[in-house]
Structure 1
Amino acid sequence: MSLDIKFEIVSEFKNLNISNSTIQSLSKLGYKKMTSIQKISIPPALMGFDVLGSAKTGSGKTLCFVIPVIEISLIQNYIQNDMLVNLVKSCILFPTRELGIQIFDFVKNIEAKIKIKLCLGKIMEKEKCSMVLSTPGSLFNHLNNKSLNLNQLKILAMDEADEILNTNFIKITDLLMFILPKKRQVLFFSATLNSKLKNITRINLKNPIFCSLNVKKMYFNKKKKYKYIQQIHNIRQFAVISHDYKKNAHLLSFLSSHKTQKIIIFVSTKKQIKYLYTVTKLIFPEIKTSLIYGSMNQTKRIKNFLKFSMNKRQGVLFSTDLTSRGLDFRSVEWIIQLDCPKNIQSYFHRIGRTGRFLETGKTILFLNYQEIKFINTLGKNFVKIHIINIYKRQIEITQKKIEILLKKNKNCTKIALDAFLSYAKFIYFQKNKICFEFKKFNWKKIAQNFGLNPISYDL
């Protein structure tokens, strides 16, 4: 059930019914005027309604749930009874550690007085706090070990909520929804949220307010379900068709001419990341490179994340889709999708790492000949993408450098073979057979793309 309510639309944070300390902190951080999604979602959230919020990446969704959560936590801080002070009143859930660190820093910059517990995996001893920030799995472990008490929880916020409700998190989320108090407010935000998200019913929303700015055109498909279209005006979108399957050479050629820019490169598997990172470091050692993937050691992963974030104007980050959601990397000039995304939602989340707030950005999608049909998917979602070419002579020179490197370096050859096999496995298990039909890929040419000799491996 969806509920229509009336509330006054205000343009500035100072006109909201929030504490003076929050208003002053927002002003110092440069937040004075509200964005469109903030105008329509913060007032009902402050009134205590459950909110489903959706807007394009970089539109200021984080403040939409952070402000109501802070206000509840501030009220808790004013309670003098020591027994009550130790009870958590607010909780923010997120799918990745990196996003959690970013939200934690954001909240502390706005209101340093709030006692916050950041849960990223390790079980910590009991400590007094009024707000908890956690991944779903870590929160469940803390509750199971009784190191947290959420019996008095008043507000639960979810960032990148559709990811939290996907198959990887759904069992843990179901358990959390059963354990947490039923009388709670829920704020549910994502860039690709829409009314047909089948798992929304699992979180027991009560008369939710649906706030969305993703609608360029809203229409019914054959199954009578709504479809919502992203509007992205500040990102120039390009595609490169690699008819010769030399994506890696295309990429390195591009990096060689953009050494002083800040770039994020999305690929499908961690072994591809290791390969590209190694080859780039050896062929172009002057390029500042970092890498992030899911199974990486937590300390190293966070270190690499912070290293890239703090580089203001240059650096290359190789990543899986782990960093495609919610993270706010400032001054990223290019997003490169070396592998075709699984679906249109993944495409939007990836390119959303550039063009944040008032910034502009550019993105390149590399496609093999078999993957060209993804252009049709983009067209159906009103994405205007321009096909460009990269200088062929430069690609041939770079491809030769890769092949020479592998002949001289046996370790690189092993890394390249592992990357090739992991990519083949990724393609084989994709459900979208229109773009990822395994048998139609030219695997001999793809092996050469990694610098391998297909004859040596009987391809």
Structure 2
Amino acid sequence: MQIFSDFPLHNSIIKAIHDMGFEEPSPIQASCIPTILEGVDVIGQAQTGTGKTAAFGIPVIEKMTTAPHVQALILTPTRELAIQVSGELKKISKYKRVKTLPIYGGQSIGHQIRALKQGVQVVIGTPGRILDHIRRKTLILQNVKMVVLDEADEMLDMGFIDDIEVILQQVSNERQTLLFSATMPPEIKKLTHRYMQNPKIISINRSEVTAPLIDQAYYKVLEKNKLESLCRILDSQEIELGIIFCRTKRGVDELSEALQTRGYLTDALHGDLSQIQRDKVMKSFRDSSIEFLIATDVAARGIDVENVSHVINYDIPQDPESYVHRIGRTGRAGRKGLAITLVTPREMKHLRSIELEIKQPIPAKDLPTLEEITVRQKENWKNQIAEVIERGEDQSLFYEVVESLTDQYELKDIASALLRIAYSDSLPLNIEDSYDFGETGASKGMVRFFMNVGRNVNMSPQNLIKEISELVGIPGKAIGRIDIFEKFTFLEVPEDVAPFVYEALRQSRINGARVNLEPAKPRPPREKREYTPNQDRAKRETYKK
């Protein structure tokens, strides 16, 4: 087993690392620290939660001198990440006379100018504010010998790539450049070719990223019941603090408002918030004034809160790398964590691609039933009532009300009515799992659908069965009769999975063709053959079957 003292580090750094509670280096640290100390350029591919800040922070502090000028520049995509990295570096430099300074928008530039004049060795900042100081000539980079680009792919996504190039052109070519990124899109690769010299690539595999302390699960939900399904999951879990991810800023606002309406303590975090608003939200989250932080991927970059017990993907992430990055927000500092993903039928293929990337299956779970949630809530109510009684607080204010009712009503009815008043808003929501497809002319226990494609898109019963099985997760033999014609198809599926088939296939594509799926009309008697607009192409041929 490798330990930090195995590296050629000064005793002051080793002592600080010990104080931070680090026992052994993570895989990215074990690979990066000695390589960076050699002075070569490094490309590190790693996600949040792998210890990459210390992977570059330890050698950066080790290589700093006490000369009162900027010797290292670290660029980050967000203010939160700049503050986080600065805090980590301050801990590492605890016993060494090295000053670090975070620079970001939203803070007084005058304060930053005064701090720079006092002399700092390491500047950590966002590209926009760094450029402001360069133009004002309040940040001089001529003595910088190390540049770190942290979360490079996120800086690309946020439109900072041009700013980064301008900044790199201000630094000596003799510098050492370190780039860390969860993914390596083409634009980042071009950046490495242009501004790095023979970089050594260090990456860690997915099994090291998805730490065993992070339990993972997914729930298959209907799109129309997604919010109610989420509430049922939240009510079934013991959650200390949770981060719920949405794909868009609008989605964050809508979900936060919907959960607040249902009594959950939530707040939203996304790029449209002012810095003051972001600070307020994060303070509330850190001190547990809110239970759930609803956030977009970009807004959540740099958030490092140790007691996050749950990460919930309300919207499945766009790519496997983002999934790994999200779930790294929980299971911090040796704690247990749970990552939950809500998956609609049309997203099942996307989930499978994530499983392939992380090289492990994500277990499926059934939504908690109404009865299970009710039992849990009853227990919580009993505990809350017992706690009030055991505290011995003065209840005399309410005695008269109770006594005046006991002459007319049973005591248990009075108590039950009070419980209903107190807890009616927290009763679990009923989820209607079925669409009303009506009579479709299917066999008993089945639902029959009409599709607007057939042999004209090279569709066969075998590939249609495979498509449905992959999307809905049912065995192919459960699918009933399939009638494929030249330009349309009829198929039967079991009633219990029909809603998932409907959501999975409608407005999807099969062999490149847009699919329209709708409940079939029942077969009319031979003397009455009526067709809907979308089914008139079926004509008499359909009923020969």
Q: Is it true that 1:114 corresponds to 2:98 in the alignment?
A: yes
Distance 2:163 2:509 in 1: 33
CA RMSD of aligned residues (A): 3.1
Match of 1:62 among 41, 50, 53: 53
Instruction: In structure 1, give the amino acid aligned to 2:73.
Output: C
Instruction: In structure 2, give the amino acid aligned to 1:343.
Output: D
Distance 1:319 1:172 in 2: 26
Deviation at 1:244, TM superposition (A): 5.1
Distance 1:42 1:72 in 2: 11
Distance 2:274 2:238 in 1: 28
Q: Write out per-residue CA displacement over residues 36-63 of structure 1, whole angstroms, 9 at most, x where no aligned residue.
A: 2212210111121111123454221111
Distance 1:133 1:279 in 2: 37
Q: Write out per-residue CA displacement over residues 96-115 of structure 1, whole angstroms, 9 at most, x where no aligned residue.
A: 11111111121222324432
Counterpart in 1 of 2:439? none
3-state SS, counterpart of residue 317 of structure 2: coil
Task: Output aligned runs, 1:58-457, within 5 Å.
Answer: 58-73=49-64, 75=65, 77=66, 79=67, 85=68, 87-112=69-94, 113-121=97-105, 122=107, 123-124=109-110, 125=113, 126-127=116-117, 128-166=119-157, 168-193=159-184, 198-201=189-192, 204-214=195-205, 231-243=210-222, 245-258=224-237, 260-284=239-263, 287-311=264-288, 315-356=291-332, 358-381=334-357, 382-391=359-368, 393=370, 397-398=428-429
Distance 2:157 2:322 in 1: 13
Q: Report the TM-score when normalising by structure 2.
A: 0.62
Distance 1:231 1:281 in 2: 31
Seen in structure 2, the aligned counterparts of structure 1 residues 280 and 166 have a Cα distance that, compared at 3 Å, is closer
3-state SS, counterpart of residue 238 of structure 1: strand
Distance 1:180 1:212 in 2: 26
Distance 1:15 1:194 in 2: 35
Consecutive unaligned residues of structure 1, counting only runs of 5 or more, are 1-9, 80-84, 217-228, 401-432, 443-459
Distance 1:67 1:353 in 2: 22
3-state SS, counterpart of residue 103 of structure 1: helix
Distance 1:17 1:241 in 2: 51
Distance 2:351 2:341 in 1: 10
Distance 1:375 1:277 in 2: 24
Distance 2:133 2:430 in 1: 50
3-state SS, counterpart of residue 429 of structure 2: helix
Seen in structure 2, the aligned counterparts of structure 1 residues 58 and 272 have a Cα distance that, compared at 3 Å, is same
Distance 2:186 2:34 in 1: 21
Counterpart in 1 of 2:458? none
Q: Write out per-residue CA displacement over residues 135-170 of structure 1, whole angstroms, 9 at most, x where no aligned residue.
A: 112211211221210111110112212222446221
- Say whether the 8 Å CA contact 2:156–2:188 is kept in structure 1: no
3-state SS, counterpart of residue 308 of structure 2: coil
Q: Write out per-residue CA displacement over residues 63-103 of structure 1, whole angstroms, 9 at most, x where no aligned residue.
A: 11111221233x1x1x4xxxxx2x21011111111111111
Instruction: In structure 2, give the amino acid aligned to 1:236.
Output: D
Instruction: In structure 2, give the amino acid aligned to 1:119.
Output: I
Distance 1:196 1:149 in 2: 27
Deviation at 1:253, TM superposition (A): 2.1
- Say whether the 8 Å CA contact 1:159–1:326 is kept in structure 2: no
Instruction: In structure 2, give the amino acid aligned to 1:104.
Output: S
Seen in structure 2, the aligned counterparts of structure 1 residues 349 and 244 have a Cα distance that, compared at 3 Å, is closer
- Say whether the 8 Å CA contact 2:58–2:92 is kept in structure 1: no
3-state SS, counterpart of residue 372 of structure 1: helix
Counterpart in 1 of 2:413? none
Seen in structure 2, the aligned counterparts of structure 1 residues 434 and 399 have a Cα distance that, compared at 3 Å, is farther
Q: Write out per-residue CA displacement over residues 333-369 of structure 1, whole angstroms, 9 at most, x where no aligned residue.
A: 2111111212222111111111235333221111222
Distance 2:12 2:509 in 1: 54
Q: Report the TM-score when normalising by structure 1.
A: 0.73
Seen in structure 2, the aligned counterparts of structure 1 residues 251 and 213 have a Cα distance that, compared at 3 Å, is same
Seen in structure 2, the aligned counterparts of structure 1 residues 186 and 244 have a Cα distance that, compared at 3 Å, is closer
Distance 2:509 2:19 in 1: 50
Distance 2:10 2:516 in 1: 59
Distance 2:509 2:92 in 1: 47
Match of 2:32 among 37, 41, 45: 41
Q: Write out per-residue CA displacement over residues 174-220 of structure 1, whole angstroms, 9 at most, x where no aligned residue.
A: 2222222211111222344599953343552112122222266xxxx
Distance 2:509 2:177 in 1: 38
Deviation at 1:259, TM superposition (A): 6.0
Distance 1:399 1:156 in 2: 55
Distance 2:206 2:325 in 1: 16
Flag as ranges the 4+ runs of structure 1 deviating above 6 A.
Answer: 439-442
Counterpart in 2 of 1:429? none
Distance 2:174 2:78 in 1: 27
- Say whether the 8 Å CA contact 2:509–2:515 is kept in structure 1: no
Q: Is it true that 1:17 corresponds to 2:1 in the alignment?
A: no
3-state SS, counterpart of residue 174 of structure 1: helix
Distance 2:516 2:17 in 1: 52
3-state SS, counterpart of residue 340 of structure 1: coil
Distance 1:440 1:22 in 2: 62
Distance 1:345 1:440 in 2: 30
Distance 1:315 1:109 in 2: 29
Deviation at 1:267, TM superposition (A): 0.6
- Say whether the 8 Å CA contact 1:56–1:213 is kept in structure 2: no
- Say whether the 8 Å CA contact 2:74–2:150 is kept in structure 1: yes
Counterpart in 1 of 2:539? none
3-state SS, counterpart of residue 279 of structure 2: helix
- Say whether the 8 Å CA contact 2:152–2:188 is kept in structure 1: no
Distance 1:232 1:260 in 2: 20
Seen in structure 2, the aligned counterparts of structure 1 residues 268 and 56 have a Cα distance that, compared at 3 Å, is closer
Q: Which structure has the larger Rg?
A: 2
Deviation at 1:326, TM superposition (A): 4.7
Greater relative CO, 1 or 2 (CA 8 Å, sep 6+): 1
- Say whether the 8 Å CA contact 2:78–2:302 is kept in structure 1: no
Consecutive unaligned residues of structure 2, counting only runs of 5 or more, are 374-426, 432-507, 518-545
Q: Is it true that 1:53 corresponds to 2:58 in the alignment?
A: no
Deviates more, 1:41-50 or 1:376-385: 376-385
- Say whether the 8 Å CA contact 1:98–1:305 is kept in structure 2: no
